[in-house]
């Protein structure tokens, strides 16, 4: 069997120096039928290794589930890596950041209120031990010393930026070794003395994360990793985007120069990202450093391979650099990207949320408002309902909204409370009497910093006219399965209509159909829509928002079919009742 180890100067494969040329590719952000294509294009660019995080919360949506099927079939992904003759680096966390909701930690982990994450705490470590034992049948037999592709496993993730608990790191090592992992273990931190010192322990090989000034930052790493190979295991060749900001890009020239400097120094590399993919459904993360900033659906990352899996200018420039450090077949290259089909049509039917809400979940009764987490809900939307009889000039007050609330009275809109605006109060109409509804959207859980694990929904008390409001009915929307909505639309039930005057008024679900001669990637043009989410043939494409910068949603070819296809949107605000597709992605304006 192959032998891989960390030598005094180099990584060594079967006793020979081995420079890791890796690219990040997250299986959970790419349709599984496209994994092999993306991996092959990494090899064609000159890479010899694929790196992936493992998203614990995607595999374990509840404490009693562990899903390794479909797009979460990590074993199939690693087998695809091996089939392309490549190696693999696996980063199972348990915390991954990754701009992924909650940094990969399951929301249910926090419901006790006593768990202490990312430190030496018994409840947390017990959950991690169970998680790693669930991963063991996938990872252990696919290690390089057993004929598989896995050569390295990372312990935690940029831990030095968060804490300093060597006992915690030691116990993570023990858990990983106990399940049968025998390959070398690494850590990664930004090349700052305190982070490199706090983020690792003896016996773990330190690596760094950076995207520029390679020579200087490798020197900083060397000061804390005095022997063994140098590695930048997150070479940031792009960046992520927030709603309401610009689309981030990095220059091809600067990224290429920094990559060449890194490789010329003899260091190994993992490009973050080689191919970013998509935050399908409601999986995007968020940041909150005083202002809450949810991430967009696209995770294109300005990577060498774009969101739809096609080479960019950065791909070809990186390939030229990599050709100096590895042998490349000049004829083995990806083909050009075709234009996607352009379609246009109208939404044929629309139904207000009020008419289908009961088919999307079960109402429960509560004296005061529960959080989404207290209801066992980790993502999406929750509808809160109570009766009010308020005097003239009454104000609705909520301690905190996470993250966006549409307020209505007797079905008529009152206003919106948005976390990113720090909204907590809203004036109610004069002599407000009747049914108050607060429809709350979780826009993405914070993935970095001390706010990881915070609850979603309405937090604390809800008051009207200064008095706490009691006797609530609460309905979390189960949008993982839209069959309840489509059944109502199919039946033409009361409330189902054609769009009025060519427009959609939300919150409502609208449906359209379109035909294709054969499956192909599509880019759904969202510029005429307000805010919401979209599905094609039941597959959750993700969120859209007129705020931008992103104005298309990527539709992977395996999601569509030859013949008739179904598009459903959940529009929260207002939209034109037209759908269009574009020939290319539109990820919005850049800073320059």
Catalytic residues: 158, 234
SS3 of 517-557: CCCCCEEEECCCCCEEEEEECCEEEEEEECCCCCCEEEECH
DSSP readout, 219-279? Answer: HHHHHHS-SS--EEEEEESS---BTTSPPP---HHHHHHHHHHHHHTT-EEEEEEEE--B-
**What's the CA gap between 356 and 491, in Å, rounded?**
12
Start-end of H helices in 328-463: 353-356
List CB contacts of 145: < 8 A, sequence separation 6 or more: 1, 2, 3, 4, 182, 183
**What's the CA gap between 530 and 255, in Å, rounded?**
36
Using alpha carbons, select from 286, 301, 302 the residue that is nearest to residue 244.
286
Instruction: Give the DSSP letter of residue 171.
Output: H
The DSSP element (H or E) to which 4 belongs, if any, is strand 4-6
Contacts 24+ apart (CB under 8 A), 7-13: 7/228, 7/229, 8/227, 8/228, 9/227, 9/228, 9/229, 10/229, 10/266, 11/151, 11/229, 11/231, 11/268, 13/151
**What's the CA gap between 455 and 167, in Å, rounded?**
28
Q: Looking at the chain, how many residues does it have?
A: 592
Strand partners, 61: none
Q: How far apart are the first and last CA of the chain?
A: 52
Number of other residues whose CB lies within 10 A of the CB of residue 562: 11
**What's the CA gap between 243 and 547, in Å, rounded?**
6
List CB contacts of 578: < 8 A, sequence separation 6 or more: 344, 345, 346, 347, 502, 528
Separation in Å, CA 578 to CA 482, 505, 513: 21, 13, 11
**What's the CA gap between 188 and 295, in Å, rounded?**
23
Looking up tokens 């599984």 gives 32
**What's the CA gap between 455 and 472, in Å, rounded?**
18
Q: What share of the chain is helix, strand, coil (3-state, %, to 5)?
A: 25, 30, 45
């Amino acid at each position: 069997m192959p032998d891989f180890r960390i030598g005094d100067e180099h990584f060594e494969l079967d006793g020979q120096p081995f420079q890791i040329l890796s690219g990040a590719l997250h299986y959970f952000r790419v349709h599984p039928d496209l994994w092999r294509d993306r991996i092959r294009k990494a090899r064609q660019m000159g890479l010899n290794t694929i790196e992936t995080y493992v998203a614990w919360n995607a595999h374990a949506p509840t404490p009693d589930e562990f899903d390794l099927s479909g797009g979460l079939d990590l074993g199939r992904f690693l087998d695809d890596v091996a089939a392309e003759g490549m190696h693999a680096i696996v980063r199972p966390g348990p915390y991954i950041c990754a701009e992924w909701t909650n940094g990969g930690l399951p929301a249910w982990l926090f419901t006790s209120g006593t768990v202490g994450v990312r430190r030496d705490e018994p409840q947390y470590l017990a959950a991690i031990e169970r998680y790693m034992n669930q991963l063991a049948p996938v990872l252990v037999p696919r290690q390089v010393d057993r004929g598989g592709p896995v050569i390295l496993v990372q312990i935690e993730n940029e831990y030095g930026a968060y804490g300093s608990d060597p006992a915690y790191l030691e116990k993570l090592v023990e858990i990983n070794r106990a399940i049968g992992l025998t390959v070398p273990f690494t850590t990664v931190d930004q090349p700052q003395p305190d982070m490199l010192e706090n983020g690792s322990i003896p016996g773990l090989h330190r690596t760094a994360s950076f995207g520029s000034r390679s020579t200087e930052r490798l020197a900083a790493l060397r000061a804390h990793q005095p022997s063994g190979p140098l590695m930048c295991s997150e070479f940031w060749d792009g960046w992520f985007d927030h709603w309401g900001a610009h689309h981030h890009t990095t220059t091809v020239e600067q990224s290429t120069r920094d990559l060449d400097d890194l490789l010329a120094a003899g260091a190994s590399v993992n490009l973050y990202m080689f191919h970013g993919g998509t935050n399908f459904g409601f999986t995007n993360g968020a940041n909150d450093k005083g202002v809450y900033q949810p991430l967009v659906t696209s995770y294109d990352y300005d990577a060498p391979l774009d969101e739809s899996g096609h080479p960019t200018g950065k791909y070809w420039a990186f390939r030229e650099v990599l050709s100096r450090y590895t042998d490349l077949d000049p004829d083995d290259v990806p083909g050009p990207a075709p234009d996607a089909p352009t379609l246009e049509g109208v939404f044929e039917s629309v139904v207000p949320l009020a008419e289908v809400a009961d088919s999307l979940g079960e109402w429960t009764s509560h004296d005061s408002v529960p959080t989404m987490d207290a209801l066992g809900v980790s993502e999406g939307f929750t509808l809160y309902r109570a009766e009010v009889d308020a005097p003239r000039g009454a104000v609705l007050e909520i301690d905190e909204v996470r993250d966006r609330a549409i307020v209505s009275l007797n079905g008529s809109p009152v206003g919106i409370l948005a976390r990113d605006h720090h909204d907590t109060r809203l004036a109610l109409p004069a002599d407000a009497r009747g049914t108050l509804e607060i429809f709350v959207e979780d826009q993405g859980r914070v993935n970095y910093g001390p706010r990881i694990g915070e609850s979603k929904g309405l937090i604390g008390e809800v008051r009207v006219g200064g008095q706490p409001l009691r006797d609530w009915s609460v309905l979390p929307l189960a949008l993982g399965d839209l069959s309840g909505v489509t059944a109502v639309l199919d039946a033409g039930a009361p409330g189902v209509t054609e769009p009025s005057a060519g427009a959609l008024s939300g919150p409502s679900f609208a449906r359209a159909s379109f035909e294709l001669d054969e499956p192909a990637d599509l880019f759904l043009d969202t510029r005429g829509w307000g805010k919401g989410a979209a599905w094609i043939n039941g597959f959750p494409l993700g969120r859209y928002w007129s705020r931008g910068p992103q104005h298309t949603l990527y539709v992977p070819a395996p999601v569509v079919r030859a013949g008739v296809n179904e598009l459903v949107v959940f529009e929260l605000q207002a939209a034109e009742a037209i759908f269009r597709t574009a020939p290319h992605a539109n990820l919005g304006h850049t800073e320059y």
